[in-house]
Structure 1
């Protein structure tokens, strides 16, 4: 009977296998009939079993997921009428019986139990060495901990699954939620132990994307940084823990969350991020950089663009955790304007546009003044930022990035990044802005002419396929594909689930928070700023402590700068911002209320009216935790729903 149960599980999960195999090594189709004996006595079947664990990893190129329910990726609000789940969530139209957007509870417990089964039954074969089997078992150990970590960071109160379902029966399947810190400690330890059993990299090309020791350390560092943050470790100088969270217990009356600040959580996060950095750099990882013809000067535009495009074997040593095959083509299609043959609906928010620095490294906007349907801003007088008028000359930079004008309007290593007559909001911005955002009247490589987001324009309203805030996403969209002339094809390309830049930013944050808790910021700030400046150097903007940018003497100001740098550098990457807003306890302020963008109702003949901030959406924030699916609670009376979702 146990064999038959495993057979049914295997056939079911392998039905969805081909979407995300790790490499050719994992691109295998299931046999019609499998039993426990031949699964683990046959190399192909053993690999299929492992492949399933990779197939359920979070997708990177997804526009109806965590990125879209934060404050950066902005699918057209008109898509709600088409049943688009993320817009429904943004607007507060969500309950525990609603499907989609985040489905970890549906997928990960099954994968966790599959991993336990492989650990128990896999053994060396004539064509599978003991070393290979041990690696597979360590990969399984990683996935068990990784999927627990993802569930804990998403749902808050989760059980720990300690064995395969086929080994359990009856009430033993009805697991109880355990304290958040217990789950974190357990998963972090499992990730550390798995890292000790795996190599930092593989020599075989077909193992690119397989779990390494560095991937284990990366997810451990991310988990511990989350667990040290304000949502679950409320700092004395900030918002306390919500009363509902403080009061929450499991079915046995055991408290889920510890409401007392623990500075050692930040020390643990700091140490975990530092360990990852040291081990990654020892293995040859570094921020990806391209250079101008002198071989010395960084080209920040191409560095940031191609960091998302190139694989490890193509020289991109920044990647730590790749998802080697992803649904990038569909993402590109939604991000291309209608006039370029795409759907023209996948945009970014005005909030993200505002947060990019100026080329002088300063923040452009200090605050907002909202008045009903309109918005004005308080401009930083030191930034050279403006929201009136149009540029009178080309903005030429030292770069070989050449997508801002038709042809190659350049001299040597210099190219135009914003031609004259560009609205001044988009002039003098840092390189990451131009690599991340498509704005109105900007030349678009896919169209061969400028975008037209004006009302009745080929890329604008009244069609619901338009960028609601007035911007499309450019970041990690294939810059070589030209849809309208069929001169290219969508490329299957990797997603990046973790890269070294995140480790630098997380180390700076955790080191700062620990120094604030100890009162040693003045002693520690040089070490903190070191890692922020590594990011800014590659970004092509002035570093703190140079060019008139002073290192803040107030650690709370340093906190703001670190969060801003992280927001810009990691924008629209795998839902990271959604997790950050939650762990910083900022989501209730950012994700509730009016969202503003450019005036998409203005026609081209009324150009100045387009470039005014108007409300395009009112959102309703519901909870810091994702609801446990109601059907899971119905099946398991030992589960209790998260605060904010019980009514």
Structure 2
């Protein structure tokens, strides 16, 4: 069997990771006949092998992974009694022996080894040209770098897998963790080199979702932005400073390197330049005059529509994601949904007002009392006296919505004032109590005893359901669920704009060049705000605009808030951001407030009172290596916060 490697071995069996097989993707043959040479003589097998590697890419429409363990999405806390793992993690009831939530440590190494095998054995055949095989190999090289990058950003201390070893036992399997910066630089280079062998896009719709040069550059830019941030760029935390691998080599560099931000600036700008050169741009829909942006439909459909439908914003699409299941969990119980995937009050508070100003600047009373920005127009007192009209064709806010009109009522009178005069992204992202629901043809009822409320576990514990990423036409109670198969958006150009603005601002702080770079920073921040339909920032005083701060530290806060709002509930970005900014230990611990879900409809005013619905406990900035793998591979060292 030495010259006939069985498929189970091909995927790489090593002590630190469970056994894996891609037999589901390969035509079945006897083990003594199926060797790697014969596998890659067959187009179908070659494509299935590659499909297995693609299948390891994280899904977009999820609600039980990184998206939930940040401070945005809020599954019903009652699901803890049903074994919902993310709630255990939020509450600090987690150890290195706990399963699930994030399983990259298990899945990615398998895919990495499969990618190495493809590169080694795949070759042109009658049905697959040399050009196509070279594309496939470049895709595999990207995946090797990309999967390593996500492992590094998740676990901090990881090995570099350089090959798909054929041994099943021995020293070759006992991989050692490498310094964080070493992994980052190596993975970033792999993705950069892969980009040089791939096109920026494919004209063939059948190849939509295949890895392109722009996807390589996007994931590289995300990694280098993470690597420049406070968590890993000179962190003086004692546990991280003292962490060493089995050879006594430091994992995390405790010396701050300002050039890391320069690398992030360059990586994000390279992505933007190449993306725009290839025709990518923020997705925008206009009102009837063809000039004024419709911010509601633009923001909603930036995630819903595909490239062949005119959406050129998405750089990394994940085709055919589990969108229908996500829609079901997020829709109200009374229309056939589970009605239990909500958002936090912290996210609700983060959205800007219609005038572009932040409504809340901080909290007192352990987070329960907001410090209101007096100039914003925000209020938590009483209900609105009149309808609020917005310039949009988005017609889902009232029973009388009209998709053919350029103006619609978005906030009907008698709405709790917390939800009035907010920016368009708020209404696309949050489904609050008593808001009209298109599928129900009436308002949602989260009151205690209401058709969408408690005491059922299938109700929003925080007082809100998530609306972001939910198909507005989905009706779970219909026989088919009215679900549409749709793509996920693992990276879109808006993230690139915001990462570039952040990186340039941070590098300006390092070099004292904020004034010189302010115009460039605002250019990309304003691209996002313009599409969102809120006032732009200006260098000096200008009518209808908000004067940008003179202090780059204040600008930092504005950029972070913009990112938090624009990218909310997408790809777990918030969890990674809170960690890289070193804010997680504060934000992800303590009391979480929402609306009072115990109040009945006849006690309406009492419902709209900030009430604690959960108390969370922060454990570590890093996800733990599964204890079973620590036990099997004595070269591994556990991450800070997870020691027995």
TM-score, normalised to structure 1, is 0.95
Give the aligned length: 629
The 1-side partners of 2:511 and 2:278 are apart by 32
C-alpha contact (below 8 Å) 1:13/1:52 kept by paired residues = no
How far 1:5 sits from its partner (Å)? 4.2
Query: Are residue 79 (structure 1) and residue 72 (structure 2) matched?
Result: no
Q: 2:593: which partner in 1?
A: 596
1:544 is matched with 537
What is the Cα deviation at residue 241 of structure 1? 2.5
Conserved? CA contact 2:393–2:404, under 8 Å? no
* In 1, Cα distance between equivalents of 2:29 and 2:341: 40
Q: 1:528: Cα distance to partner? A: 0.6
Contact 2:72–2:568 (CA<8 Å) still a contact in 1? yes
Contact 1:447 1:484 in 2 (8 A): no
Q: Is the 8 A contact 1:481 1:487 kept in 2?
A: no
Residues 128-181 of structure 1, C-alpha deviation per residue, up to 9 Å, x if partnerless? 111111111101100000000000000000000000022675101111000000
Asked if the contact 1:359–1:429 (Cα under 8 Å) also holds between the matched residues in 2, the reply is yes
CA shift, 1:360, in A, is 0.1
Structure 1 pair 173/568, CA: closer, same or farther in 2 (3 Å)?
A: same
Q: Against the structure 1 CA distance between its residues 341 and 381, is the aligned structure 2 distance closer, same or farther, given a 3 Å change threshold? A: same
Q: Shift of the alpha carbon at 1:3? A: 5.7
Asked whether the 8 Å contact 2:10–2:113 carries over to 1, the reply is no
Distance of 1:409 and 1:214 partners within structure 2: 38
Partners of 1:549 and 1:205 lie apart in 2 by 42
Which residue does the alignment assign to 1:565? Answer: 562
Give the TM-score normalised by structure 2: 0.96
Which stretch has the larger CA shift, 400-409 or 477-486? 477-486
Q: Which residue of 2 aligns with 1:109?
A: 109
CA deviation after TM superposition for structure 1 residue 14, in Å: 3.4
Residues 485 and 210 of structure 1: CA distance in aligned 2, closer, same or farther (over 3 Å):
closer
Residue 384 (structure 2) aligns with? 391
Counterparts of 1:463-482 in structure 2, within 5 Å, are 463-482=456-475
Conserved? CA contact 1:38–1:45, under 8 Å: no
Residue correspondence of structure 1 range 392-407 to structure 2 within 5 A: 392-407=385-400
Q: How does 1:55-134 map to 2 (within 5 A)?
A: 55-134=55-134
Aligned residue in 1 for 2:166: 166
Which residue in 2 is equivalent to 1:376?
Answer: 369
Match of 2:610 among 610, 613, 629: 613
What stretches of structure 2 of length at least 5 have no aligned partner?
Answer: 12-19
Q: Which moved more, 1:603-612 or 1:32-41?
A: 32-41
Rounded to whole Å, the distance in 1 between the matches of 2:489 and 2:3 is 37
* 1: CA distance, partners of 2:291 / 2:24: 47
Counterpart pick for 1:639 among 636, 639, 643: 636
Q: CA deviation at 1:206?
A: 0.8
- Secondary structure of 1:388's counterpart equals coil
CA contact (8 A) 2:536 2:545 kept: no
What residue is the counterpart of 2:260 in the other structure? 265
Q: Does 1:279 align with 2:289?
A: no
SS in structure 2 opposite 1:382?
helix
Residue aligning to 2:15:
none
Instruction: Name the counterpart of 2:14.
Output: none
Deviations 1:321-350, CA, capped at 9 Å, x for gaps:
011011111111110011111010000000
8 Å CA contact 1:30–1:48 kept in 2: the answer is: no
- Equivalent residue of 1:227, what SS? helix
Any idea what SS the aligned residue of 1:66 has?
A: coil
Query: Tell me, what secondary structure is at the counterpart of 2:486?
Result: coil
User: 8 Å contact 2:37–2:121 — kept in the other structure?
Assistant: no
Note the residue ranges of structure 1 that are not aligned, 5 or more in a row. Answer: 18-28, 235-239
Structure 1 residues 47 and 187 mapped into 2: Cα distance closer, same or farther (>3 Å)? same
Distance 1:120 1:167, change over 3 A: farther
| 1:187 maps to 2:182 | no
- In 2 relative to 1, CA 59–384 (structure 1 residues): closer, same or farther, beyond 3 Å? same
Conserved 8 A contact 1:410-1:416: no
Which residue in 2 is equivalent to 1:219? 219
CA gap of 1:427–1:32, structure 2 versus 1, over 3 A, is farther
Tell me the residue number matched to 2:22.
Answer: 14
User: Partners of 1:323 and 1:635 in 2: how far apart?
Assistant: 34
Partners of 1:4 and 1:97 in 2: how far apart?
A: 36
| Counterpart selection for 1:630 from 623, 627, 632 | 627
Segment of structure 1 superposing worse, 3-12 or 634-643: 3-12
Q: Which whole-Å CA distance do the structure 2 matches of 1:564 and 1:531 have between them?
A: 14
1:133-532 alignment runs, 5 A limit: 133-166=133-166, 169-234=169-234, 240-370=235-365, 375-408=368-401, 412-486=405-479, 489-532=482-525
- By how many angstroms is 1:37 displaced? 2.2
Secondary structure of the 1:192 match is helix
Cα distance in 2 for residues equivalent to 1:212 and 1:104 = 23
What is residue 554 of structure 1 aligned with on the other side? 551
- For residues 82-121 of structure 1, what are the alpha-carbon distances to aligned partners after superposition, in whole Å with 9 as ceiling and x for unaligned? 0000000000000011000000001111111111011011
CA contact (8 A) 1:595 1:617 kept: yes
**In structure 1, C-alpha distance between the alignment counterparts of 2:475 and 2:300, rounded to whole Å:** 17
2: distance between equivalents of 1:3 and 1:224?
41
Q: Deviations over 1:548-586 (max 9, x none)?
A: 411110100000000000000000001010000000000
Question: For the structure 1 residues 409 and 121, does the alpha-carbon distance in structure 2 shift closer, same or farther, using more than 3 Å as the test?
Answer: closer
Distance in 2 between residues matched to 1:140 and 1:3, nearest whole Å: 24
1:484-526 CA-partner distances (Å, limit 9, x unpaired): 3447521221111100000000000000010100011111111
| CA displacement at 1:409 relative to structure 2 | 5.8
Distance in 1 between residues matched to 2:228 and 2:480, nearest whole Å: 49
In structure 2, how many angstroms separate the alpha carbons of the residues matched to 1:608 and 1:445? Answer: 25
How far apart, in 2, do the equivalents of 1:305 and 1:646 lie? Answer: 43
